[in-house]
Chains A and B, each alone.
Chain A
Amino acid sequence: MKLEPNYLLSLGQLATLLTNVAEIGGAPDRDAVKLEACQLADRVASMGQDSSYALFSAVHVLTQMCGEADKAVLIARRIVTAYPNSGYNQTQLSNVLSHAGQLEEALQVLENAEQAFPDNPWVFQYSPYWKSMLFTEREDRDAVLAVSGESLSLV
């Protein structure tokens, strides 16, 4: 696949796709996939353009694949400050905070997003997931069942 080299969103989305493939066991050489995803994410993050979707694609990969949650937190906070009225941005910030070990703030961000953006489909779909991550790390299994049981769709 040939991508436009300066189209940040396509680069960020490719990095995300590679990360997702590695997650579900679809990468024969997962370390090579990780390297490519992280290189793409670094490139997007360093190009300095202000595309929130592209940057959050990079942030997602830096956080979950590259072990760079602290760097991702800085980028995520900058995007949320620039675009405060985005439920997508808020839920992504929560995930980054969670991976950085800032669990209380991560949960608060999600609860604020649910209140501020009650009809946002991204918040509706992903807030339960990120909450389940937080509750798993806190060893609160009943809370995981309460949250995930409401949102689970295996269709």
Chain B
Amino acid sequence: MVDAYLLANAQGVLNRPTQARDIWNRILAKYPGLTIENYEWFLKQGLATDARVEPFVRGLKRAKVEE
């Protein structure tokens, strides 16, 4: 489970939105409070800059996993 965010994001970056959404929805089933905004906030605490955070959420946003 721990790397599911990363896998969903990678699928989104590789233009596989269906796979990205499927993984994201399975994560949400376990952690219903999760949002991209919160995930982005969390990453920013450790990675410090928007430039370092962006590759971790690009695919999630591109795949529109929250729509």
Contacts and interface: CB of A to CB of B under 8 A. Distances in A.
**Is B a genuine binding partner of A?**
yes
Contact of A99 (B23, B47, B56): B47
Given A137-B52, A139-B55, A25 B33 contact: yes
Interface of B: 1-4, 6-7, 9-11, 13-14, 23, 26-27, 30-31, 33-35, 38-39, 41-42, 45-48, 52, 55-56, 59
Interface of A: 22-26, 30, 34, 63-67, 69, 99, 125-126, 128-129, 132-133, 136-137, 139, 141-142, 144-145, 147-149, 151-154
A66 to B, nearest CB: 7
B7 A148 contact: yes
B57 to A, nearest CB: 10
B55 A154 contact: no
A25 B10 contact: no
Given A67-B48, A137-B56, 4 more contacts: A22-B38, A65-B42, A132-B3, A144-B9
Contact of A30 (B41, B46, B56, B59): B41
B45 A66 contact: yes
Contacts of B41: 30
A133 B13 CA distance: 15
Contacts of A67: 45-46, 48
Contact of A24 (B6, B33, B59): B33
B46 A63 contact: yes
A144 B42 contact: no
A26 B33 contact: yes
A24 B38 CA distance: 8
B25 to A, nearest CB: 10
26 contacts: A22-B38, A23-B38, A23-B42, A24-B38, A26-B31, A30-B41, A65-B45, A69-B46, A99-B46, A99-B47, A125-B2, A126-B2, A129-B6, A136-B9, A136-B55, A141-B10, A141-B59, A142-B14, A147-B3, A148-B4, A148-B6, A149-B7, A152-B4, A152-B7, A154-B1, A154-B26
